[in-house]
Amino acid sequence: GWDNIDAQVVCRQLNYSTSGAQAFTGAHFGSGTGPILRTGVQCNPYDMSLAGCHHNSDTEDCSHREDAGVSCPACPSGSIRLVKGSHLAVYSYDDSAPINEGRVEVCVDGDWGSVCDTHWTTADAQATCTTLGYTSPGAIALPNAYYGRGFLAPVMGNVECQGSESTLFDCPRASSVSCSVSLTVGVNCSICVSGDLR
């Protein structure tokens, strides 16, 4: 029957993380319409798409009350993004701010969240910029919701990078987080440093 291994294959095919993929049966998300194309799907953990999974083509005994569904994690754990906010009306919440700066949001256990500014330093900003593919020199740490508070609960706090980490997730940090969204962090990453060529 339809199980979490099948759900992992669907999530992989849709470019989501497979960790935490969950299978649902019995038209959990509502009954579909139209022809039923597969029944008895059995994927192995290494299948790249649903088309490669073993299945039955005889769907005469099926109804849409048995439709399968999946829930994929919203993001792969370890992902990081910058979200543009506003600061003293210099930047609006449109696309006017460059992509090399913004509020830091991270994916932990399949969910996006913000980062608390306790102990947020230049070393933390450098690790963040490196994670995003920017150079670490010139990175600026911006605490106190500089780019806006956002709406996501903090999921990382008391980050204490030493300067040698290759990603923000390599830095020591608190195992539990307790802070307000008014204390989220931002960064400004250098697009280039003096002497770079392109």
Q: What Cα–Cα distance (Å) separates residue 7 from each residue in 3, 50, 53, 169?
A: 6, 9, 11, 27
- C-alpha 130/C-alpha 141 separation (Å) is 13
Q: Is 22 within 8 Å of 62 (Cβ atoms)?
A: no
- C-alpha 64/C-alpha 33 separation (Å) is 7
What band does 20 get if pLDDT is binned at 50, 70 and 90?
confident
Radius of gyration, CA atoms only, the chain: 22
What band does 10 get if pLDDT is binned at 50, 70 and 90?
very high
List the single range of 10-19, 65-74, 167-176 with lowest mean pLDDT.
10-19
The pLDDT score that the predictor gives to residue 100 is: 87
Would the pLDDT of 112 be above 90?
A: no
What band does 68 get if pLDDT is binned at 50, 70 and 90?
very high
pLDDT tens string 117-144? 988 999 999 999 999 988 888 999 999 9
List the single range of 83-92, 115-124, 165-174 with lowest mean pLDDT.
83-92
List the single range of 8-22, 81-95, 137-151 with lowest mean pLDDT.
81-95
The pLDDT score that the predictor gives to residue 86 is: 52
**Looking at the DSSP assignment, which residues form a beta bridge with residue 24?**
69
Mean pLDDT of the chain: 85
Residues 6+ apart with CB under 8 A from 43: 5, 6, 8, 9, 50, 52, 53, 54
Q: What Cα–Cα distance (Å) separates residue 155 from each residue in 6, 7, 88, 109, 164?
A: 29, 26, 26, 10, 23
The pLDDT score that the predictor gives to residue 95 is: 45
Q: Model-level pTM greater than 0.85?
A: no
DSSP sequence for 83-106: E---STTSS-SSTTS-TTEEEEEE
Place of tokens 């993380």: 17
Best CA proximity match to 102, nearest among 39, 179, 15, 185: 185
What band does 85 get if pLDDT is binned at 50, 70 and 90?
low
The pLDDT score that the predictor gives to residue 91 is: 34
Q: Is 129 helix (H, G, I), strand (E, B) or coil?
A: helix
**Mean pLDDT, range 155-159, rounded to an integer:** 92
Best CA proximity match to 147, nearest among 100, 86, 97: 86
